[in-house]
Amino acid sequence: MTMSPKLGVCYYPEHWPEARWAQDAAQMTALGLTYVRIGEFAWSRIEPREGEYDWAWLDRAVETLGTAGLQIMMGTPTATPPRWMLAKFPDMLAYDAEGHPRGFGSRRHYCLSHEGYKDACAKIARDMGARYAHLDYVHSWQIDNEYGCHDTILSYSPVAARAFQIWLETKYNAIDALNTAWGNVFWSMEYGAFSDIGLPNLTVTEPNPSHVMDFRRFSSNQTVAFNKVQADVLREITDKPLIHNYMGRITEFDHFDVGADLDIASWDSYPMGFLEDRSDRPEDFKHAYQRQGDPDFQAFHHDIYRAVGQGRWGVMEQQPGPVNWAPHNPAPLPGLVRLWSWEAFAHGAEFVNYFRWRQARSGQEQMHAGVLRPDGEPSPAVAEIGQVAKEISALELSPLQESPIGLIFDYASAWAWDTQPQGADFDYFRLVFEFYSALRKLGQSVDILPPNISDFGDRKLILIPGLFCWNDSIKRAMRAFEGRIIIGPRSGSKTRDFHIPEALPPEIDGLELKVTAVETLRPSGDIALEGGGAFQIWREHVQTSESVSLMSEDKRPAVVSKGNLHYLCGWPNALGLDAIFKRQLNELGLPIYALPCGVRRHDMSGHILYTNYAATPEQIDGTVLRAAGVRLIQKSSGKIIIKE
């Protein structure tokens, strides 16, 4: 089996004169593009007034793109309800945590709990499906656009408040059960009826964490339910793949749950925007990679979304030049657009679509680069995209293989530690990402695994950082697994109801260990480890009769080990993780690769890809790889097939 990934682009025919469409389509195919995604924001042109449809322009756009040889990824336009929808449903707006409605005038202003709006979404999805799904040109369907972007999962609207009460009543049945589960005797918070329960915002001081955690679960479930309405409608009409385009570092809903109702996962990759806008890296790191993006952030999301799509995934939007939304928006180094594309393929992407075809001349994103400039002439990305198109059409790529290393990623743990960080710097995404990044620097490929996995397969090493609460499946998987497991910090430290386990954490079968106290550390308060590096942010005091395989310099256990189980009693910094992982990989006989700083190794079954994110040329295997260069090697012959 081989992979033949394809390229595509996001296009908005409704933004450009119809006379230009055919030329755009011809240029897309000439550039080597296969896919074009359209439609996802076009509701006001499809249905300008309620019930009054204008399909004619979209019919002609579909026909023009399709007959030019492009395959259409059709978006349902539900992320941008037109203004008349708000007049029809004045209570459809999402509310922020301060209790303010989020107004019309951009996008995603709807509350996911609004039943009337959900019905309207079902209707437009059904109408679009009925009109276009049967066409050969139409390849797949994107439902909505980027759930969670612009903070749009948690809504504190009156509609959400009522839906939350119903959700709680279904979950607990009796109010006493809820009072017990939430521990409401604390501060006299006991409720007499479900209808008394409000949302956990606008409280005088922090709300009860069990209350917040249920609200987070509810909000995630509402996202799943919102998506499923359209998925169900489209399933009745077509068996073409259903897709959603997720985002970078959004953890407010469980992507595995949404993904279970879809066929392909995709995400929107803006490497430089993300490094500026949502990274914990220090300033010198951001400076070094300002025109490249973080060498691990893209791969991490590629691997997450491969798991969310159960193997099928792609990049729905790829940054082609400066974006408009980060604090600073430099241009990428020459070569990056090609590097990002190749990196996605090396992690198994079926497609990479560039966002957007032509830079808009009006509206919020007029300063966001496109493949074409606002005047319709090529931007610097064109040459690189053309090069990638030629490269992928000339070769068959080997598929991915299962990695010997698996890393658990759990959205509910992100909610839990967001609810109760216990220190300003404790962040679940950051914790898992730092584990991932430390392994990638040692040349390892890592599979991301969901938290309810019941079998770790033939892997050699499983990592479970910060999993707030055990579930039966993972416990079974841990018992049956013969490879090594590294657990913690903070894993198993709460019950599902958000209580401290009576016997004290971490409650790991086969490991006699109790966390007796925890502390969070100031940025200047790192605790050195005897093997190199330090604990940062979080550290635990433990009681154990098991062997201690690493101590901190203040003479407390740092790693407790028994058989294949290893427990980390803190959050190691980059040097600490490097030392701990090197030792573990050596003991497991897994090869460690000495890579220059910005270089990463991407392992496929028959190929290896090297990417150089550094702004300087680097040496790999005795030959120079230029800044922003890629090198693809065939494993069987050792031959370099794609250079520089």
Shorter beta-carbon distance to ligand GAL: residue 113 or 145? 145
Nearest of 536, 254, 296, 226 to residue 416 by alpha carbon: 254
Q: Helix crossing, 336-346 with 381-393: angle to 10°?
A: 30
Residue with tokens 């509910």: 412
Q: From 142-150, 374-382, 490-498, 530-538, give the range in contact with ligand GAL by CB under 6 A.
A: 142-150
Name the minimum Å distance from CB 248 to ligand GAL: 9
Contact 309, 349 (CB under 8 A): no
| The one among 355, 470, 610, 613 contacting ligand GAL by CB under 6 A | 355
Shorter beta-carbon distance to ligand GAL: residue 99 or 363? 363
Name the minimum Å distance from CB 149 to ligand GAL: 5
Amino acid at 235: R
Judge whether 317 counts as a catalytic residue.
yes
Shorter beta-carbon distance to ligand GAL: residue 121 or 323? 323
Check binding of 252 to ligand GAL (CB under 6 A).
no
Using the 8-state DSSP alphabet, how is residue 340 labeled?
Answer: H
Name the minimum Å distance from CB 355 to ligand GAL: 6
Question: Residue 332 and residue 598: Cα distance in Å, rounded?
Answer: 15
Q: How far apart are the first and last CA of the chain?
A: 27
Q: Is the dihedral of CA 145, 146, 151, 156 positive or negative?
A: positive
Name the minimum Å distance from CB 249 to ligand GAL: 12
Contact 553, 521 (CB under 8 A): no
Name the minimum Å distance from CB 526 to ligand GAL: 36
Name the minimum Å distance from CB 310 to ligand GAL: 23
Contact 611, 343 (CB under 8 A): yes
Name the minimum Å distance from CB 80 to ligand GAL: 9
Question: Residue 501 and residue 506: Cα distance in Å, rounded?
Answer: 8
Q: Helix crossing, 411-419 with 428-441: angle to 10°?
A: 130
Q: Is 568 helix (H, G, I), strand (E, B) or coil?
A: strand
Question: Residue 453 and residue 473: Cα distance in Å, rounded?
Answer: 6
| The one among 11, 16, 132, 270 contacting ligand GAL by CB under 6 A | 270
The H-assigned helical ranges of 238-380 are: 255-259, 271-277, 283-288, 297-308, 336-346
Shorter beta-carbon distance to ligand GAL: residue 145 or 165? 145
Name the minimum Å distance from CB 268 to ligand GAL: 5
Check binding of 323 to ligand GAL (CB under 6 A).
yes
Nearest of 414, 451, 474, 434 to residue 300 by alpha carbon: 434
Question: Residue 324 and residue 117: Cα distance in Å, rounded?
Answer: 30
Among the listed residues 47, 252, 276, 317, the single catalytic one is 317
- Name the strand (E) or helix (H) holding 139: strand 138-142
Judge whether 434 counts as a catalytic residue.
no
Shorter beta-carbon distance to ligand GAL: residue 365 or 497? 365
Q: Is 449 helix (H, G, I), strand (E, B) or coil?
A: strand
Nearest of 542, 410, 522 to residue 473 by alpha carbon: 410
DSSP letters for 475-488: HHHHHH--SEEEE-
Among the listed residues 40, 47, 146, 434, the single catalytic one is 146
- Can the peptide bond before residue 20 be classed as cis, meaning omega within 30 degrees of 0? no
| The one among 24, 47, 144, 146 contacting ligand GAL by CB under 6 A | 146
Q: From 144-152, 416-424, 551-559, 582-590, give the range in contact with ligand GAL by CB under 6 A.
A: 144-152
Contact 599, 627 (CB under 8 A): no
Check binding of 266 to ligand GAL (CB under 6 A).
no
| The one among 145, 298, 329, 612 contacting ligand GAL by CB under 6 A | 145
Shorter beta-carbon distance to ligand GAL: residue 13 or 570? 13
- Can the peptide bond before residue 506 be classed as cis, meaning omega within 30 degrees of 0? yes
Nearest of 597, 587, 550, 544 to residue 572 by alpha carbon: 550
Task: Give the count of residues interacting with ligand GAL (CB under 6 A).
Answer: 10
Shorter beta-carbon distance to ligand GAL: residue 148 or 629? 148
Name the minimum Å distance from CB 266 to ligand GAL: 11
Shorter beta-carbon distance to ligand GAL: residue 112 or 599? 112
Nearest of 489, 468, 470 to residue 479 by alpha carbon: 470
Contact 465, 442 (CB under 8 A): no
| The one among 24, 254, 268, 343 contacting ligand GAL by CB under 6 A | 268
| The one among 261, 294, 317, 447 contacting ligand GAL by CB under 6 A | 317
Question: Residue 638 and residue 4: Cα distance in Å, rounded?
Answer: 21
Question: Residue 338 and residue 629: Cα distance in Å, rounded?
Answer: 8
Name the minimum Å distance from CB 173 to ligand GAL: 40
Q: From 61-69, 141-149, 189-197, 448-456, give the range in contact with ligand GAL by CB under 6 A.
A: 141-149
Q: Residue 174: how many CB atoms within 10 A of its CB?
A: 10
Q: From 143-151, 157-165, 200-208, 446-454, give the range in contact with ligand GAL by CB under 6 A.
A: 143-151
Check binding of 276 to ligand GAL (CB under 6 A).
no
| The one among 149, 260, 504, 551 contacting ligand GAL by CB under 6 A | 149
Check binding of 368 to ligand GAL (CB under 6 A).
yes
Shorter beta-carbon distance to ligand GAL: residue 182 or 274? 274
Shorter beta-carbon distance to ligand GAL: residue 145 or 544? 145
Contact positions vs ligand GAL (CB under 6 A): 145-146, 149, 268, 270, 317, 323, 355, 365, 368
Residues with catalytic function: 146, 317
